[in-house]
Amino acid sequence: MYVDTELGTQMVRWRRELHQFPETGFNEHKTAAFVAAALRAMGLEVHQGIGGTGLVASLTVGDGKGVIGLRADMDALAMTETAQGREHISRHPGCMHGCGHDGHMAMLLGAAQLLSQSRDFNGTVRFIFQPAEEHGRGARAMMDDGLFERFPVDEIYGAHNIPGMPVGHIATREGGIMASEDNFVIRITGRGGHAARPHLAIDPLVVAAEIILALQSIVARAVDPAEPAVVSCTEIHSDGIRNALPTHVEIKGDTRSYSRQVQALLERRMRDICHGIAAAHGATCEVQYTHEFVPTINWPQCTPVAIRAAQAVVGHSNVDANVAPMMISEDFGAFLTAVPGAFVFIGNGATGATGGVPLHNAQYDFNDAMLPIGARYFAEIVRQRLAV
């Protein structure tokens, strides 16, 4: 199965149109309408408003009972695109497709077009377009809205572009491929005062500094070195001014891991450290710890399916079937807690080449050269799993 010039050009048009009008999680109203219109033009049955702004399109060919789900994410990031000379730059200030979800949608639309034209399978395909991936809420919202009860699937497959990997390469692995993400907010309360008279205050900034350094000891000294884990403090805020010690300091950040045991350990040690250091200084501390993303764990019976489809599209030598796990997180993992499936990375471009700008960078852009690869990959899964 190949992508003809006309469809390749159409996918670029879809992708660049979506790129110009990005919308953040659960606000993808125009995005969903655009996608739904394209799918209906192919003759597919489309259901909208699932889990907020999500949608599902179904295509049935023949009398086969098998059902395969293919998923793309729709939301953009709340950041400003800074690329110069890009004709399709975001027209929504403070919002951009900095993670390539515009390309993911275009790839899945391309797969829908290929399959609706070729009809060389026997069964049903569900094209699932998910909202709010970036904050780990969309997959659960769709499932809570009855996604798999209303639109059951036997297996589900997803993909994400990866800058730093050459175009034409696909990578995956059995088991854990992406980590969980937990968020934390640490609120320290001391006693504010004049900066010239610190002995009369309880400085929460000193407490915060000690906590930030001590949190790094969790991974270094409390987690088994064979277990992957990350603790990152990413923001610090206070109510102080230049000549006044603050009363309140807030630290924000996140943790990444692959097992529930490590997740629990990170939370427990974080609470112990924060409360202990605060108490030692006469301050008080509150820790808010929330679970945002579950790990993405590829099913053993589905990973070979993804590998074979990838090999059929880009060749055996361009497929890494045992890529190292990454500490990034992906909302697709929530789907894999409910139904079997697998996730792959598709190269967006080598570092320093077109498509090599990192994800979540203000100058990132999805590499249109990988659109046919993604469309063919998704279509190949269907052809193999729902063979005539």
Q: Is there a binding annotation on residue 227?
A: no
Q: Is there a binding annotation on residue 99?
A: yes
Q: Is there a binding annotation on residue 45?
A: no
Q: Is there a binding annotation on residue 285?
A: no
Query: 3-state DSSP call for residue 258?
Result: coil
Through-space distance between the first and last CA atoms of the chain, rounded to whole angstroms: 15
Q: Is there a binding annotation on residue 29?
A: no
Residue among 101, 121, 140 nearest 1 (CA): 121
CB-count exposure of residue 319 (10 Å: 0-12, 13-18, 19+): buried
CA distances from 169 to 52, 55, 85, 163, 304 (A): 34, 29, 28, 11, 16
194 is written with which tokens?
A: 């004049």
304 is written with which tokens?
A: 């070979």
* Cβ 127 vs Cβ 64: under 8 Å: no
Residue 15, H or E segment: helix 5-20
* Cβ 357 vs Cβ 363: under 8 Å: yes
| Alpha-carbon gap, residue 3 to 11, rounded angstroms | 10
* Torsion region of 113: left, alpha or beta (phi above 0 gives left; psi -120 to 50 gives alpha): alpha
Binding residues are 99, 101, 134, 160, 360
Binding-site annotation: residue ranges for Mn(2+) = 99, 101, 134, 160, 360
